[in-house]
């Protein structure tokens, strides 16, 4: 058996492996030479028994079978169909005179074939077809496990801090080096990881994996996969996130929560670039770029004996620090309309109209929850039809315990909205009996508008009428005064 694992020429499908089952000779030599342009790992055997032995040690994404070997060794088509169950694509090399003998293979789903001797254009077409289908299946698998969540990888903001961050990502993005992203909760560490993946131009998927919610019982299976053997002896490989991310990027969120007892295994995977699924005797090579995120100082965890120093060094090849939102408030100029626009599109609601006082409150707040808290505020305001001032006032009005205040950068406390000290005097027994209904209505409306600091939209909602109705009332009163 021959193998080619030279990665220097970086073939297009370097994350995939191929097995050729064909008798030795010029045809096999030409085929292997053509495959070198596509794959980094190529194994070839000249008998079906050798192919079975090789498959016990390696996983192959594509198996190319010369049907002459099948007929000579009396291999039944069901045996080849079994490769499909092992998540391998099977490509048959068929001569024109042998088509009537492979009809039963087509009935079993072995429908991919090329005419032997091989034409280079036909081979190129079939390889693209098989591998693009495999890439699509992996992306669908990632969607199934909720790995590729719908979120933009665009980094919003024009502050100097954000500009330098984008430049840093542009510089390190194409590298295969591991990256450690440090930042407070809600600063967008996964967003940075997605942007690194986009800049890497890797053909595999981006797969985020949260280390905060894993259990020791399922950790190895989720990460490295598991070989499940049914009662009838049929084996089925359940792929872990390392296999799903093959050819792409694996983002390990909250890496500080990774169990200490399992860190040795992860370290070995990062160093050897190989995984061993549970129940398997053999290791499988993977081409995965690992990006880790943390809100905790890992160096302190190392000093406390809660994190392996060797693993930290392996993850921290390149470090990216994401600043909190309070250190880059000028980004709010772009962030607020961007988030509001995206949320309104998702919620099918119109864009909110906020005045300068609302924007001032947003800019003066320190945002301890960072962009996540900002998004939450905007979403609440849009759904409830409130301005930021109204939202904070109502939250403090109805919250239990002492009023909640917010410390801003210049030392004042906003937004704290106490009830108005001045109000229109109203007798405890109601309005005077000699007032006409029109005067009572006007007095009550003016009082509600004053309570809402002149905001007619908020007042109309409190009164249960349309703003147009309120505007019409004020116009009528202006005419009466004239």
- The answer as to whether 421 is a domain residue is no
Residue 456 belongs to a domain = yes
**Beta-bridge partners for 64:** 20, 91
Output 277 or 153, whichever has higher pLDDT.
Answer: 277
CATH number at residue 332: 1.10.8.60
Q: Is residue 152 part of a domain?
A: no
| Same-domain pairing of 34 and 120 | yes
Q: Which residue has the higher pLDDT, 1 or 281?
A: 281
Regarding whether 369 and 473 lie in a shared domain, the answer is no
Tell how far CA 344 is from the center of its chain: 21
How far is Cα 195 from Cα 157, in angstroms, rounded to an integer?
14
Instruction: Choose one of 398, 424, 451: the last residue of a domain.
Output: 398
What is the spatial order of strands in the sheet that 89-94 belongs to? 2-4, 39-45, 13-21, 62-66, 89-94, 113-115
Q: Do residues 364 and 223 share a domain? A: no
Residue 407 maps to a domain:
no
User: Is residue 2 scored above 50 in pLDDT?
Assistant: no
Query: For residue 315, which of 287, 286, 291, 288 has the smallest C-alpha distance?
Result: 291
**Structural domain ending residue among the three candidates 380, 398, 416:** 398
Domain limit, last residue, from 323, 344, 372: 323
b/e per residue 166-183 (b: at least 16 CB within 10 A): eebbeebbeeeebbbbbb
3-state secondary structure of 157: coil
Residues 18 and 124 in one domain: yes
Q: Considering its fold, how many domains does the chain have in total?
A: 4
CATH label of the domain that carries residue 107: 3.40.50.2300
149 in any annotated domain: no
What pLDDT score does 460 carry? 76
Share of the chain above pLDDT 70, in %: 81
Helix ranges (H only) for 15-159 are 26-35, 48-57, 67-72, 77-85, 103-107, 120-144
Contact 37, 11 (CB under 8 A): yes
How far apart, in whole angstroms, are the C-alpha atoms of residue 231 and residue 249? 35
Residue 476 and residue 385 share a domain: no
Measured distance CA(426)–CA(446) in Å, rounded: 12
Host domain of residue 383 = 326-398
- Domain check: are 183 and 305 in the same one? yes
| 111: confidence class by pLDDT, cuts 50, 70, 90 | low
Q: How many CA atoms lie within 13 A of 325 on its CB side?
A: 28
Q: Are 242 and 310 in a shared domain?
A: yes
What local confidence, expressed as pLDDT, does residue 11 receive?
55
Mean pLDDT lowest among 87-96, 273-282, 322-331, 332-341: 87-96
Give the CATH number for residue 466. 1.10.10
Q: Are 191 and 169 contacting, i.e. CB atoms less than 8 angstroms apart?
A: no
Are both 183 and 246 inside the same structural domain?
yes
Compute the mean pLDDT over every residue in the chain, rounded to the nearest whole number.
Answer: 79
Asked, for residue 460, whether it belongs to a domain, the answer is yes
If we measure between CA atoms, which residue out of 180, 174, 169, 170 comes closest to residue 314?
Answer: 180
d(CA 362, CA 1): 67
CB 267 within 8 A of CB 261: no
What pLDDT is stored for residue 454 in this prediction? Answer: 76
- The more confident residue out of 168 and 80 is 168
Residues 6+ apart with CB under 8 A from 63: 18, 19, 21, 51, 83, 88, 89, 90, 91
100 and 173 both lie in a single domain: no
CA dist., res. 465 & res. 445, Å (int) = 11
Task: Check pLDDT > 70 for residue 201.
Answer: yes
User: In angstroms, rounded to a whole number, what is the distance separating the alpha carbons of residues 314 and 180?
Assistant: 10
- Residues 354, 240, single domain; the answer is no
């Amino acid at each position: 058996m021959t193998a080619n694992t030279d990665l220097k020429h970086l073939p297009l499908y370097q994350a995939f492996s191929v097995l050729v089952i064909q008798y030795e000779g010029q045809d096999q030599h030409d085929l292997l030479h053509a495959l070198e342009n596509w794959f980094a790992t190529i194994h070839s055997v000249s008998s079906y028994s050798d192919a079975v032995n090789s498959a016990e040690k390696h996983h192959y994404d594509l198996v190319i079978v010369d049907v002459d070997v099948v007929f000579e060794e009396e291999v039944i088509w069901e045996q080849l169909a079994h490769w499909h169950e092992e998540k391998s694509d099977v490509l048959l090399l068929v001569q024109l005179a042998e088509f009537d003998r492979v009809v039963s293979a087509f009935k079993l789903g072995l429908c991919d074939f090329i005419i032997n001797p091989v034409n280079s254009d036909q081979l190129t077409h079939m390889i693209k077809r098989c591998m693009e289908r495999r890439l699509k299946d992996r992306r669908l698998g990632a969607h199934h496990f909720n790995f590729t969540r719908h979120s933009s990888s665009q980094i919003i903001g024009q502050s100097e801090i954000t500009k330098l961050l984008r430049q840093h990502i542009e510089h390190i993005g194409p590298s295969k080096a591991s990256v450690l992203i440090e930042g407070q909760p809600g600063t967008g560490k996964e967003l940075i990881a997605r942007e690194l993946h986009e800049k890497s131009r890797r053909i595999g998927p981006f797969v985020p994996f949260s280390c905060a919610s894993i259990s020791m019982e399922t950790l190895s299976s989720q990460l490295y996969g598991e070989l499940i053997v049914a009662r009838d002896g049929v084996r089925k490989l359940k792929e872990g996130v390392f296999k799903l991310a093959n050819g792409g990027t694996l983002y390990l969120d909250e890496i500080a929560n990774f169990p200490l007892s399992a860190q040795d295994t992860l370290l070995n995977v990062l160093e050897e670039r190989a995984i061993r699924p549970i129940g398997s005797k053999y290791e499988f090579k993977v081409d995965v770029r690992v990006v880790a995120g943390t809100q905790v100082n890992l160096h302190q965890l190392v000093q406390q004996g809660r994190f392996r120093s060797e693993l930290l060094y392996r993850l921290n090849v390149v470090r990216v620090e994401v600043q909190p939102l309070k250190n880059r408030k000028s980004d709010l100029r772009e962030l607020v309309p961007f988030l509001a626009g995206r949320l309104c599109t998702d919620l099918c609601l119109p864009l909110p109209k906020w005045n300068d006082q609302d924007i001032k409150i947003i800019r003066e707040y320190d945002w301890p929850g960072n962009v996540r808290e900002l998004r939450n505020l905007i979403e609440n305001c849009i759904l409830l039809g409130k301005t930021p001032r109204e939202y904070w006032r109502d939250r403090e009005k109805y919250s239990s315990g002492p009023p909640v205040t917010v410390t801003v950068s210049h030392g004042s406390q906003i937004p704290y909205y106490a009830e108005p000290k001045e109000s229109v005097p109203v007798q405890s027994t109601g309005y005077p009996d000699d007032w006409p209904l029109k005067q009572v209505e006007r007095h009550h409306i003016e009082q509600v508008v004053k309570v809402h600091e002149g905001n007619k939209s908020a007042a109309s909602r409190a009164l249960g009428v349309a703003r147009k109705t309120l505007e019409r009332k004020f116009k009528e009163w202006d005419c009466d005064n004239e």
